[in-house]
Amino acid sequence: MTPSQTEIARKLGVSQRTVSAVINNNGRISDETRERVSKACAEMGYQPNRMASGLRGSRTHAIGAIWPVADPWAGDSAISLSLVKLLNAENLATYSAPSTQDLDVLCQQVHELAGRGVDALFLHSIPSLLGNPKILQALKAIPAVVAVSREEVPDFPGDLVVHDRYAAIREVVKHFALTGRKRVSIQIEPTEESNPPKIEIFRQSCREFGLEEHENTLIPMQKSTVPRDHSEQHRNAIQNAFPNEVPVDAIFCVNDVGALYVMRELQDRGIRIPEDVAVVGLNNAPTGVVWSPPLATIDRMHDQVAQEVFQCVTSRIENPDAPKQIRFVHMNFIPRSSAG
């Protein structure tokens, strides 16, 4: 059992206030006394109660996280893992909850983390939730909040890291145009909330680079009954749209796993990649590199997102009254062989 500050003070013959001042690194304490107290704390196995100090109005050195826990398609769980490592290196503990698109569940998660007295919260969510009045009200209980979203969120009360994919989608279309493609397509599930903006930027980019729209510009996928399952959906969409000939010369798939299924379907039909049809995915999955041909893709820049969130969290804790920040991390197109 960890000793109390009073027990340490009694052993050294000093006041409990002196021990507290050394532990919390404040007050005017002589170097000799500071060294004696620090040595006694180490020898007696003293561990500060961060939660108790937080309840007294001090920092708890704890950070809340609402983030994708298991995300095999986008891989954003890797960002959370990097952040936890960065925060732990700064002696900051983390309390984690899985991200959700359920408004009431998200509000409850925020309330629970606020009840733990966390110094800050970082979360990953969609713009419609981050701008919801109930969420905005709940977040007021957290001293510092940093959110990651695909778009800016007007009036968001904390710092915001915009994880932008639209510039990279434009680069994909530009690459298709520069390599002589004429009939390009995007394969996507059009009713999912995050997808209509992707479709629109794809169409806008086609017009910008002189690629005419056609009846197969959009290759729709049916909504999966299995959450986040984009595997066979992609192959089935190709089979449904093109039961015989494939009248396009480039396909942009909105994740790498689905793109690999599309490539397999095309290759099984004897269609050459990229000579006949170019294929590009999204998420930079490691398996894409070892495919034949290697899969062109969009890198989500996970490490950069983690660094930006980490810097926002730590700077906000140190300077809570600083102006709110909006930082942008742009995903990056990687033009491997499958794109031609």
> Please, what are the domains in the chain?
5-48 (1.10.260.40), 62-165+302-331 (3.40.50.2300), 166-299 (3.40.50.2300)
DSSP code at position 224 = P
Of 223, 340, 237, 235, the C-alpha closest to 280 is: 340
- pLDDT for residue 235: 86
Averaged pLDDT for residues 157-180: 96
Summarised one tens digit per residue, pLDDT across range 283-331 is 998 889 999 999 999 999 999 999 999 999 999 888 888 889 999 999 9
pLDDT, mean over the chain: 88
Provide the CA 314 distance to its chain's centre, in angstroms.
17
- pLDDT for residue 51: 43
Q: Which amino acid is at 288?
A: G
Q: pTM of the full predicted structure?
A: 0.78
Q: How many helices (H) and strands (E) does the chain have?
A: 14, 12
Summarised one tens digit per residue, pLDDT across range 111-128 is 899 888 899 999 999 999
